[in-house]
Structure 1
Amino acid sequence: MRHKAVFLDRDGVLNEERRDHVKCWEEFAWIPGSREALRRLRGDGFFTIVVTNQSVVGRGLLDSSALEGIHRAMVSEVEQIGGGIDGVYYCPHTPDAGCDCRKPKPGLLLKASEDFSISLRDSYVVTDTMNDVEMAKSVGCMAMLVCTGRGREEIRHQSEWRVRPDYILPDLARAVEVILNLEGSECVKKGAEGGEGER
């Protein structure tokens, strides 16, 4: 049996993005409503998986152990309010490393889909970057661009987009609402807010 997943970018979707990068847990600041959004996904038949580029490791700003400590704390805080994150997949490499896991390449999605027996064509990617939208489209996931993080800046340059997201939404909380509606879990009218329904 193949399962469904919601894949989440980290910086700009779950937590506030920092120009100097998140290098310790004290620098990690949740975007309002993001933890609660993860709680709504719990128990609805989805795997919830974070996929993130973290070149801070490749650049020597922190090591893998420290990064994984940040992720353990992140998962723990979600679990404390009744939510869950089933996996965190990250690319530690710099952009010039030529790896297969740095987004927009789909390596992280492919690895997670293998580990969790996920049907990518029945899954979702929620992100604030067009790189991730391209990644989602390359494997058949539905792509949702949120306006937190870099999202608003990306929208200003949409004349340059090579692909388009299926939805443009204010934040993760609204993205989860739309996902649950599409899956028939909740009665939420699509297109009720500006910028939605761009499919």
Structure 2
Amino acid sequence: MVQAVFIDRDGTLGGGNEIVYPGDFKLYPNVQHSLKQLKDNGIKILSFTNQPGISNGLATKEEFDEELKEFGFDDVYICPHDPGKKCACRKPRTGMLLEASNKYNLDLSKCIVIGDRWTDMLAAEEAGSFKILVQTGSGKESLRKFHNKEYFGRWNQVTTDFIAHDLNEAIHWILHES
């Protein structure tokens, strides 16, 4: 049984290839309903997202938390650091997944990560979680780079467990096919 689903924000839930800050961010069609279906089935939904704009003063962690909880997330995990900081929480590292695992006593092998970037897949692989790549946001480009072997080292050794057209298809698959 799936204990929790970790969902990336930009390009997976809504928005696009770039960060869209709270107040301007829009969910993709029907995503709100799909998130509710997860919750109705007793599956915890957790956001995990890199948001370096926080460290640059472009938004606050509280603004992201509030927005994501309004969408129905049970909890929000955010890396606010600039990519150059080499922190433990920035994807593809597993810090956010491990923090949630400790807080909620999750077995990460019974959790699913959904995202549109290969960094999401790498974090999931490292944590031992099931990996779903959506083809919204940067998903098609990430998949193209993987198939063309444009990633190197462990980046090209990680594969997805399921590829979905969008988050709605991913959630439908979780609830009806997994």
TM-score by length of structure 1 reads 0.80
Q: Does 2:102 correspond to 1:114?
A: yes
The residue aligned with 2:168 is: 173
User: Separation in 1 of the partners of 2:50 and 2:64?
Assistant: 14
Q: Which residue of 2 aligns with 1:6?
A: 5
Alignment partners' CA distance in 2, 1:49 and 1:22:
19
Whole-angstrom CA distance in 2 between matches of 1:5 and 1:140: 13
Report the equivalent of 1:193: none
Aligned residues: 171
TM alignment of 1:41-120, pairs within 5 A: 41-64=38-61, 68-76=62-70, 78=71, 84-120=72-108
Tell me, in whole angstroms, the C-alpha distance in 1 between the residues paired with 2:117 and 2:16: 12
One-letter code of the match for 2:29?
A: P
Percent sequence identity over aligned pairs: 35
For 1:58 and 1:73, locate their aligned partners in 2 and report how far apart those are by CA, in whole Å.
Answer: 18
Superposed CA offset, 1:10-61 (max 9, x none)? 1111121263x32331x11111121111011012121100000000012232
Distance 2:145 2:13 in 1: 23
* Larger radius of gyration between Structure 1 and Structure 2: 1
Q: TM-score, normalised by structure 2?
A: 0.89
Query: Is 2:111 aligned against 1:123?
Result: yes
Please give the per-residue CA displacement for 1:136-162, whole angstroms capped at 9, x wherever unaligned. 011110000000110011111123233
| Counterpart residue identity of residue 72, structure 1 | E
Give 5+ residue unaligned stretches, structure 2: 150-155
